[in-house]
Amino acid sequence: MRIAITGGTGFVGRHLARLLTSEGHEVVLIARGADKRDLSIRKIPNVVFFQSDLSDPRQLAEAISGCDSVAHCAGINREIGEQTYQKVHVEGTQHLVEAARRAGVRKIVLLSFLRARPNCGSAYHESKWTAEEVVRACGLDYTVIKAGMIYGQGDSMLDHLSHSLYTLRCFATVGFSEQPIRPLAIEDLLLVLHAALVELRESRETVMLVGPEELRLSEAVGRVGVAIGKRPLIVPAPVWLHYLLAPIFEFAMKVPLVAKAQVKILAEGVVDVAPFGNVVAADLLPRRMFTLEQIRKGLPPPGGFGLTDLRNCRSALRH
């Protein structure tokens, strides 16, 4: 099969591309080209890289011409300049749907968020929900995957938690009374993506996907600390403090340690789907627990945060 992946150079896109090409499928990676953390993904056999910001349906139709399915994984967790939630999540999805119709693509698989919903006061959640609605109304076969907190090699979760503990050895809870999370291993997400894209399963379904183990984020941080040999100091902190810090981190860091959307996500908990989502077939249910073995598989090289994590690091280095 020939399968396109938007956000193809991102965390989920890279893992999905490697899985598909390992089975002999042809993959079209569609991305802006801004994520340069793993340029080798563009050079593996059976991969074609197509640079696009999803703003031109005709260009997208050319990119996905001959594709059987499209995995729509493109997304942002903060707005920077022209990269707004409206442009990326909503208009980008509308343009992809239009392109898929033109190109004769059979199926669109949208990676959304577990609690994406309307009228909740978060532009991130609301724009993700609108994208879901666009896909559900597109007239093509589709699967919408409402996934929870995903972790694995190259993610933001393990990357930031480990770097934080190497830097400060402490963790501030999101709220004095923490809400639970259910970490989802990238391998379990890939199983569902593969079923939807290649086997065309979960047809015209909106499904929820969370990990099998429920715990507090501070407990997850503790396990990461054990995995890297850095026992964390857990500091209770109110939600409002994280909202105050989020704009600073969003401005200063390439991948922010705290973003406004993430604060809302963690303050609500990442366990229950909203407003709806079906359970996947029994053989696709996530089974990987948040174990030390799983954590160590996904950890980045040891070390704390540095100047290269800053958005304006070149300027900082010159001065």
Extents of the domains making up the chain: 2-148+185-209
**Residue 35: pLDDT over 70:** no
Could you tell me the pLDDT band of residue 317, with boundaries at 50, 70 and 90?
Answer: very low
Tell me 247's DSSP state.
Answer: H
**Residue 316: pLDDT over 70:** no
- Token pair for residue 205? 């379904």
pLDDT tens sequence across 79-130: 888 889 999 999 999 999 999 999 999 999 999 999 999 999 999 999 999 9
pLDDT tens sequence across 187-227: 999 999 999 999 999 999 999 999 999 999 999 999 999 99
Q: Which class is domain 2-148+185-209?
A: alpha beta
Rg (CA), the chain: 19
Strand pairing report for 184-185 and 2-6: unpaired
Q: What is the pLDDT of residue 319?
A: 38
Identify the CA nearest to 97 among candidates 44, 134, 125, 46. 134
How many Å apart are CA 237 and CA 91, to the nearest integer? 37
Q: What is the pLDDT of residue 11?
A: 94
pLDDT tens sequence across 65-86: 999 999 999 999 888 888 899 9
* Mean pLDDT of all residues in 166-189: 94
* Mean pLDDT of all residues in 236-264: 91
pLDDT tens sequence across 256-277: 888 999 999 999 999 999 999 9
How many Å apart are CA 53 and CA 55, to the nearest integer? 5
